[in-house]
Amino acid sequence: MLTDAYGRVATDLRVSLTDRCNLRCAYCMPPEGLDWLPAPEVLTGDEIVRLITIGVETLGIREVRFTGGEPLLRRDLADIIAATAALDPRPDISLTTNGIGLDRRAAGLKAAGLDRINVSLDTLRPEVFRKLTRRDRLDDVLAGMAAAAAAGLTPVKVNAVLMRDLNDDEAPDLLAYCLERGYELRFIEQMPLDAQHGWKRTEMVTSGEVFASLSAAFQLSDDTERSRGAAPAETFLVNGGPARVGVIASVTRPFCGACDRVRLTADGQIRNCLFARSESDLRSALRSGATDAEIAGRWRAAVSSKLPGHGINDPAFLQPDRPMSAIGG
Ligand code: SAM
């Protein structure tokens, strides 16, 4: 098992398949993009599947979430999902995506073994979408979400980040849109993970503000039926339920004590926290002929040194060197 010194057990593996992305979201990347990882540094499909296999068969991983960068940019995504679905015990398999191109791929990914999907959507206004993502692809994202629902990748979860003076008034509209279509919306507090280091604690839209804004239009009540467990989202029933909305208050109400996640970057580094300042190199081990047992040992050591919390609210907090797109959100 992947345990740490604070009694937490990592069972949820976030696998970044690429650091590349076809959007340039303001809270993540500068408009010109970033220097992508050189291709030889990125794990091959076989390398990724070998690590996932060790994670599932030896280290107690029960959930695998593919992310990035934009995971749909990986042509071998369906093959990686199929190989993951063939493992015993079969892990729960999900994908976080910006939805571009999903309209053509949703059915194939479902057939390969994908169980669930999260699509990121911050605005319903085309001009705000262009400003926030620096691309004109809102219709593609909406079509992707609809295709995911039609393919049975349900419930489609939608992730939204609100930015001050950009889309901070859109919470009720986003919720109405999602309720109408049966999508489950979750608002994520903006975290200091942008490549430009532009995040300011005083400017971020807090989950408290989101709650207040939603409460003006909907009746929100405690979700007593669903236990939160290690889930990052705190959920509320909307208008008495069964529809729900979630808030992920990573900054204002951190949930590190219940964290069960561990991350594998596209270049084969294990990160025991989004905000970790060090990584453990599994790619070198893989490529220098290490056995599965040796790799598992390195992986266990990486998780065992996980800190008790992310430290964002600590005056001495230092943002990690890698931005969100290169870690895997
Ligand atoms: N490209 C995929 C997508 O758009 O969902 C997967 C990767 S993206 C980094 C994963 C999630 O991280 C998205 O929902 C995105 O909104 C969120 N994200 C990126 N930067 C963030 C930040 N600074 N604070 C909070 N969430 C962020």
Rounded CA gap, 174 and 35, in Å?
Answer: 33
Query: Distance, CA 69 to ligand 1 centroid (Å)?
Result: 8
pLDDT of residue 161: 98
DSSP one-letter string for 78-123: HHHHHHHHTSSSPPEEEEEE--TTHHHHHHHHHHHT--EEEEE---
Chain segment 293-328, per-residue pLDDT in tens: 999 999 999 999 999 999 888 888 889 888 898 898
Query: Distance, CA 224 to ligand 1 centroid (Å)?
Result: 28
Ligand 1 neighbour 96 (Cβ under 6 A):
yes
Ligand 1 neighbour 251 (Cβ under 6 A):
no
pLDDT of residue 225: 80
Query: Distance, CA 88 to ligand 1 centroid (Å)?
Result: 30
Query: Distance, CA 5 to ligand 1 centroid (Å)?
Result: 29
Residue closest by Cα to atom 2 of ligand 1: 97
Chain segment 246-288, per-residue pLDDT in tens: 999 999 999 899 999 999 999 999 999 999 989 999 999 999 9
- What's the Rg (C-alpha) of the chain? 19
The whole-model pTM stands at 0.97
pLDDT of residue 1: 94
Ligand 1 neighbour 28 (Cβ under 6 A):
yes
